[in-house]
Amino acid sequence: MDIAHRRIGQPASEYKTREYNWAGNLGYRQERLERPTGVDALREIVAAASSVRALGSRHSFNDIADTTGTLVSLEHLPADISVDGAGRTVSVGAATRYGELAAELQRQGFALGNLASLPHISVAGAVATATHGSGNGNGNLATAVAAIEFVTASGDLRTARRGEDPDFEGMVVNLGALGIMTRLTLDVEPSFPVRQDAYTDLPWARVLDRFEEVTGAAYSVSLFTDWAGDTVSQAWLKSRTSADDGAPAAEAFFGGTRAEEPLHPVPGMSPVNCTQQLGVPGPWSDRLAHFRLAFTPSSGAELQSEYLVGSEHALAAIDAVRSLAPKLAPLLQISEIRTMAADRLWLSGNYGRSGIGLHFTWKPLQAEVEAFLPELESSLAPFAARPHWGKLFTGQAGPLERLYPRLEDFRALAGAWDPQGKFRNGFLERTVFAPAASPAS
């Protein structure tokens, strides 16, 4: 299957548009690209369109946002960040980047429970695809959603609220299939300081033997590896702390050695664009993400895949990937292992189960990565691995139906919200709405 429409290196003249995703591996195919400056203008655009999709911060690596009809960028809609301190929520424009939201919340003395590795992604895009940070007790970013405002297929404005709409848990991780999100209300809490400490060269044997202790050693833990050799190359620990906690971290961590200078997850890359390390306490807004908003994390010359596995299969899934190291190594920049808490969002990778995310940052070798993904996915299939909706994977609706118990319910929900299929595209038809194949006789 051709996962993307434009492989890196293909001439732009082959496509109708010069609009690409952040990584440059996909060219959007829209007939029209609209950039409304207000919700009323957006409503008119959606009502008049026969096919329409929303374009977020373009950090998806597949065609989830693509359409041959009308593509709508929300980048010019106002952020209009409004904090309800008494209710412990914040209302924010859908296209607002998490880094911008975090800075404003910190200014007002509030915090989100977690952030993804990149603060550059939009709130709506992250929520719609169940994007996550890390932490045994932390749900993905979508679990913070208390309300969503949508522009529906008819151009109407509709708000869904947690505790009021019986299908709310199906509306949050929505893949853009219900409408275009214009505002979201998120849970917040009082601001808290965080320190970030890093360790290098943790023996795999120690990590696997005490895996829950390793991942539970801080509020958020990330393990970076190239899968080769006997050690995990880096462990990043983000700990909730006090503002005056500047004491040195322990010299060793499960056999790893405390880093004495800042690190970048990818070997050989400068850490200048990474958030503050070396145990220096600071606001959550400047520590929970891996990278600083003011910097582009890299040139964008990369591809990404990720698969989420239940906690009970974590060690077996890690072993399965380690066995593929000789084939992985030529394609890989770095991998990251993170943990997430269970939730009840229908299309979340953590629906009904806590687990780990096995993240792969590939070199920009689209054809080679596409050729390898079936083998990787086959090795993870025994563990019911769910792919991240915004990254490269080869899954079809039939197999995915076995991974998401509420997928049929989501189809019905999307059919009720969008009976004419205005928000559907090739990605959704391939992954969500295509009928499952009949069993072989």
Q: Are 118 and 291 in contact (CB under 8 A)?
A: yes
CA dihedral 420, 425, 426, 427 (to 10 degrees): -120
b/e code 271-292 from CB counts within 10 Å (16+ = b) = bebbbbbbbebbbbbbbbbbbb
82-190: in CATH 3.60.15.10: no
| pLDDT tens digit sequence for 18-36 | 789 999 999 999 999 999 9
Q: Which residues pair with 27 in a beta bridge?
A: 20
pLDDT at res. 4 = 41
| pLDDT tens digit sequence for 385-421 | 999 999 999 987 678 989 999 999 999 999 999 999 9
For residues 354-372, give the mean pLDDT: 97
For residues 322-344, give the mean pLDDT: 97
| pLDDT tens digit sequence for 261-279 | 999 999 889 999 999 999 9
Cβ-proximal residues to 59 (8 Å cutoff; 6+ apart), any chain: 21, 22, 118, 120, 121, 125, 390
- Cα separations (Å) of 369 from 7, 243, 305, 321? 11, 44, 9, 15
As a whole number of angstroms, the distance between CA 352 and CA 394 comes to: 23
Architecture of the structural domain at 193-282+300-387:
2-Layer Sandwich (3.30)
Specify the domain boundaries for CATH 3.30.43.10 within the chain. Answer: 12-73
Specify the domain boundaries for CATH 3.30.465.10 within the chain. Answer: 82-190
| 314-322 and 366-380 helices, crossing angle to 10° | 140
pLDDT at res. 295 = 78
**Does residue 95 have a pLDDT over 60?**
yes
Name the average pLDDT for the chain.
93
As a whole number of angstroms, the distance between CA 237 and CA 218 comes to: 6
For 397-433, CATH gives 1.10.45.10
Residue 200: which pLDDT band, with cuts at 50, 70 and 90?
very high
For residues 69-90, give the mean pLDDT: 96
Architecture of the structural domain at 12-73:
2-Layer Sandwich (3.30)
Specify the domain boundaries for CATH 3.30.70.2520 within the chain. Answer: 193-282+300-387
User: For a pLDDT cut of 70, what percent of the chain falls above it?
Assistant: 93
* Higher pLDDT pick, 7 / 149: 149
Residue 243: which pLDDT band, with cuts at 50, 70 and 90?
confident
pLDDT at res. 9 = 37
